[in-house]
Chains A and B, each alone.
Chain A
Amino acid sequence: MVVVADAGILYGLLAVGAGLATGLAGIGAGVGEQGIGAAVVGVVAEEPGFLGKGLFLMLLPETLIIFGLAVSLILMFAWTPFSAIVTP
């Protein structure tokens, strides 16, 4: 049993951290995809057969968000056993 004076603040900070993890990862992936997407649209306009491979390239940076999300999930659900936090 861990006794924390203000569990609310701890929980709040965790939630902010989790939000930042997913949100910033999303921005990063977006920045990555922006360039690839523009290039892929250009190629597909010239050669429609490239659509599948273009999609493949465009979807590569998406994994980044999932990393951020994994961190968020760990923060929110797995890292601190909330049942063990007891307010005095």
Chain B
Amino acid sequence: MSRVVVAGSKDVISPVVEKLHELRLLHIVNYNGNQPEFELGKPIGKAKEYSENLIKLRSITRYLEIKNKAPEKTYPESQVLSEMDNLLNNVGADVTATYERITEIEAEIKSKQDQIRSLTPLSVIPLPLEAYHGYDSLATFVGTVVTPVEADVARVSPVNEIFTGTAKNATYVAVFVPVEKASEVSAVLSEHGFSEMSVPKLEGNVDSAIASLSGSIKSLESELMPLQKKLADLKKQHEDLMLATDEYLSMQVSKTEAPLRFAETDNAFVIDGWVPSDQYSRLKSELESAASGKLDVQLIADKEADDLVKGGEDIPTKMDNPSLVKPYELITRLFAIPEYKEFDPSLLIFIFFPIMFGMILGDVGYGIIILLILTLLKKRFRTEGWQQLINIVMIAGVWSVIFGIFYGEIFGPLGLWNYMVGMLTHHQMLELQEAGLFFGEGTYGALGRVGPLGIFPLYRLATNAVLLLIGVSLFIGVIHCSVGSILGIKTELNYGEKKHAYFERLPVMLFQVFFAVALLGLVMGQMIMVYIGAAVIVLSIVMMVMGPEGAMGLAHVPSYVSNLISYLRLLAIGLASVGLAYAANQLSFYVIMPMLSGGATNSADFSIPAIIVGVVILVAVHFINILLGILSPFMHPLRLHYVEMFTKFYSAHGGGVEYSPFGHVRRFLKA
């Protein structure tokens, strides 16, 4: 990145802004207005008109429930301009009127439904509706009671009229007493658990009132239908054009309001900003030709730029990765944007993340199903974020197919595949498993077993395989953490903090690497490796105490060990998913199918209903396992990156600012 200053005459501010917007190169640093010689810029052109139109358009799109989506066709600016007036005024008025009428009708329907609800219980009281209202000298109480009230009401008010009715286990009463007795009667009623109801001001018999209300609800609903259809039609007809207009207006607003970010004098303007160093000469020549010479673009020397950075300005970071690695920027960005001098970890995520995913899921069948599902989803979800996410999981899916071949798993170990073409009988397999000698069957038929000692395909549920995978997981952890530590050292050196690099980052790496060496020595029975490991571990702890944190650094030591143990999840989550797949296959082939076909042991004797039930259960459990098999192998490597690796180099200096050049990527508008 290079720091530039663009200064020019105010005459050419519009063409310059137009050009900057088109180039999309300059990351503008907002002028903060604290220099007395310069004031903040003012909007140019028809800024007010554009933003008013934009607000109008947004309210219309809100009524139509238009959401941003992937563009199906694009519009030239001239078409947008010529149709904007019609869209905002005629179509807009139509939409607003229709929408308002719909809300009105919905409110009316709702109030009528409420009236019906409060009328329904009153049908048990033999009174017309007009009898409840319009008295000067009578107080009315209508509601439900728990116990009979006649006697007590007669006690406080000898003059009374009481009507009762029962429906659905509740007793409804209508009590009429002289007004002057109202408060006493109210007290008596509340002793009987009285709860008041409101009576709508209507006339006639209760049942006929309900019938006429439901009739008018029906007619309102029939009026509603065509209106909603009209709104849907309008949406269909204008959706794309409205999105294009929205884009056009947003672009115009950002252009006309851009000078608010500039510094201005009476006759000139100054723009501060950052530009990628290799694009500087292009920016300079393009801007100068656009302003026909009434402008100057200056590069600020590195030293001066450093001073600006020390004064609190952020150098924007542009993450630049090959297209295959690009999707993984999503994971980096979710955590933090790297600072300008920091290492961008996207490449590392690209290397480690899919391998970890594959190592956990490791199943040819699941991998292929995930790839198929994602190919379909990729066509449906076209926004950038979804595409990146889908690409990440697709690459991971390829790796899980590769690991599936190593593990010999196709829909679970000893699963479909083995059952159909396997060479060992189930009994022979069990005997080998009990003897601890079983690494899985020769899934590949004539190919037999491959690898040292013929361990592939590995049967992950076998004891030996679990022990082997514990070791492999730990060593992946050591490599992963060491890469993090090396980058941590490099980053600290970039910031010129030697003490932090050599006495804070380096000991961590030494500790973890030689911890693993000592463990390996223990397993292999080579005591010399254990001694070397122990010696270096002690050395690294001494270095840590000499470091910037002093003796406090010792507090971190347990976490270095726990960091490594955390990598056991690579094995553990995988075991859980294999276990479920294995259970599904066992349940279906060795329990359900033989049981339902009357104890048959040979697959040829299975009855057709038994096979159908077995297959349904098989598909259901495998389906659940695939869903889990996308989620947890995604989350756990993510955690290994965020917690175990990033903490070693990435989060020390806080998040950076992303390079977001002034300009706009056209989506619905033709260039």
Q: Which residues of A contact B (CB under 8 A)?
A: 51-53, 55-56, 59-60, 62-63, 66-67, 69-70, 73, 77-78, 83
Contact = CB atoms under 8 A, between A and B. Distances in A.
Interface residues of B, number: 22
A9 to B, nearest CB: 19
Q: Which of A59, A67, A78 has the most CB of B within 10 A?
A: A59
A51 B334 contact: yes
A59 B566 CA distance: 11
B642 A77 contact: no
Contacts of A55: 334, 638-639, 642
Interface string B546-587: 000000000000000010011011001000000000000000
Nearest to B559: A63
Given A66-B568, A69-B572, A77 B639 contact: no
Nearest to A81: B436
Interface string B42-68: 000000000000000000000000000
B592 interface: no
B562 A52 contact: no
Contacts of A67: 562, 565
A53 B568 contact: no
B562 A63 contact: yes
A73 B470 CA distance: 9
B71 to A, nearest CB: 24
Interface of B: 333-336, 436, 463, 466-467, 470, 562, 565-566, 568-569, 572, 635-636, 638-639, 642-643, 646
A63 B565 contact: yes
A69 B334 contact: no
A3 B47 CA distance: 91
* Shortest 4 CB-CB contacts between residues of A and residues of B: A52-B334, A52-B335, A59-B639, A56-B642
Contact of B436 (A51, A53, A62, A83): A83
Give the interface SS of chain A, mostly helix, strand, loop or mixed: helix
B336 A69 contact: no
A66 B569 contact: yes
A56 B572 contact: no
Contact of B565 (A53, A56, A66): A66
Contacts of A83: 436
B569 A53 contact: no
Contacts of B642: 52, 55-56, 59
Contacts of B568: 66, 69-70, 73
A60 B566 CA distance: 10
Contacts of A60: 643
Contact of A52 (B336, B565, B635): B336
Contact of B639 (A53, A62, A70, A73): A62
